[in-house]
Amino acid sequence: MSGKVWLVGAGPGDRGLFTLRGLEVLTAADVVVYDALVGDGVLGMIPPEAELIYVGKRSSHHAMVQEDINRTLLEQAKLGKNVVRLKGGDPFLFGRGGEELELLTEAGIPFEIVPGVTSAFAVPAYNGIPVTHRDYCSSVHVVTGHRRAGEALDIDFEALARTGGTLVFLMGVAALSDIVSGLMKAGMPSDTPAAVLEKGCTAGQRRVLGTLATLETEAERANVRTPAIIVVGRVCGLAERFHWQEDRPLFGVRAIVMRPRHLVSGLSDLLRREGAEVVELPAIRIAKVTGAAWDKVIEAIHSLQSGGYDWLVFTSPSGAKLFMDALMEDGDLRALAGVKLAAIGEGTRKALRQYGLRADFLPTVYDGETLGRELREVAAPGSRILIPRAAIGNKALIDALGDGFDITDLPTYDTLYERSPVFDVKAMVEADGVNLCVFTSASTVRGFAEGAGDVDFNKVNAVCIGRQTAAEAQKRGMRTWTAERATLEELVRCAERAAGELR
């Protein structure tokens, strides 16, 4: 039985421009065949169980030639797998998607096409350039600037010059000189506004403006590199009025966010809203303890159901979710009648709300030491306190609580560290530009360190949610910034301060 192939357009880089249909197909993939122009944010959404095959192609540098890519899709589908061919932009706009379908069609392999947002329109939009405008032009034309080695451009410049419309050249940076000279020789005025737009819809986005006569010089002065597109037309003059992307506080920032694999990161959404390009690295995975250790968790739940505890203290959203799920499997929320709930911070409080529960107590500072010290002031002497948490949980909470209570420190889950099969973390950290690693716990710092390989930690700019997280980062030599309060909103403000200092 054969499988099926989906040709999926990944869009121009920003994961927010990835389509809902594309995400639906990607999450069901057995195999993902992806290229060099797929944005990191989209790559971060590939399911961890999917097999990855990289077939990236840059100018004159091919990980796999096109004919081999075609055969790879066919071979994987014949094995009965759901194959996603993930391509930057749109697969049918200079993406060679038609070529990849020919072999599949001959072999009778079923396929679907998922169009993507093309960089031809999205990148100008992110730079404040509308490719059409009633007062400036009535058409837009998308042209490939790619040429085979040693051959001239196969472009009818005279026809393009006669249109009077906006011209968008994809893959044309290497041929910029020929493009601008060809248009001027065809009669287009030398003072026609033009732009080169580099790395659009990413943290590295840059815009170089000029005219047909000056654009090549301006691009050389700015040392423009691929990927970039060329836009020619009067609409380019609107960029200085209509720009918006660079006006956001975290524009130009690539933020690496560490999170447990099973959690959707609200932090990432907040960072993206402020203009950051976010790469999520699920460097830690939560797994419930097993064997005799899990038997103790069940015993504690039974004791809770029979009135054996006065306080239930949660030190992480993961711990709250895992314990509450176990409780609900064995009983229901009536077991918590008369039991007071403490949460270490806003994230844990929100996790409890998902079960219809309200935390009775939060510390003024969201860390274990403060939680223990302040809980000691409100809990009655002799209170029976159950603390389900990570097996490697920090002892500061227990030490701060001190004597006078009946404390059950219950290892409930293990924190396992992972390495991303997609991302080169070292290259990310050492890349040009403003790069931040945003940590929401000490365990995410440890997870990053485990998965980052031989990264020079002195080059890591760590934005930390609290003192314990910062201390863990500082132990490794990272430069740190610490949020004033341990909330996601304050963590984003802290990222903005760090970015301001690093620019």
- Report yes or no: 480 and 474 within 8 Å, Cβ to Cβ: yes
Q: Shortest CA distance to 128 belongs to which of 204, 192, 224, 209? A: 209
Which amino acid is residue 486, in one-letter code?
A
Q: Would you tell me the crossing angle of helices 66-78 and 97-107 to the nearest 10 degrees?
A: 40
Longest dimension (CA), the chain: 90
C-beta atoms surrounding 156 within 10 Å: 12
End-to-end CA distance of the chain: 55
Nearest to 171 by CA among 227, 212, 213, 219: 227
Question: How open is the CA angle 196-198-201, to the nearest 5 degrees?
Answer: 125
H/E element holding 341? strand 340-343
Whether 35 is catalytic is yes
| Spacing of C-alpha 9 from chain mean position | 17
What residue spans of 140-265 are helical by DSSP H?
A: 157-163, 176-185, 215-221, 239-242
DSSP code of 11?
B
From 14, 30, 40, 57, active-site residue: 57
Q: Where are the beta strands (DSSP E) in 45-163?
A: 51-54, 57-58, 61-62, 82-87, 111-114, 140-144
450 CA to centre of own chain: 19
- Reply yes or no on whether 57 is catalytic: yes
What are the backbone angles phi and psi of residue 420, rounded to the nearest 5°? -65, 130
For β-strands 206-211 and 140-144, DSSP reports them as unpaired
User: Which DSSP symbol is given to 137?
Assistant: B
Sign of the dihedral defined by the CA atoms of residues 8, 9, 13, 15, in that order: negative
Closest CA to 204 of 170, 254, 240: 254
Q: How far apart are CA 228 and CA 19, in angstroms?
A: 22
Q: How far apart are CA 440 and CA 350, in angstroms?
A: 15
DSSP 8-state class, residue 115: -
Q: Enumerate the H helices of 215-307 as residue ranges.
A: 215-221, 239-242, 266-273, 292-305
Question: Out of 14, 35, 40, 367, which one is annotated catalytic?
Answer: 35
Determine contact, residues 420/283, Cβ cutoff 8 Å.
yes
Residues 6+ apart with CB under 8 A from 174: 59, 145, 226
Q: Please give the positions annotated as active site.
A: 35, 57
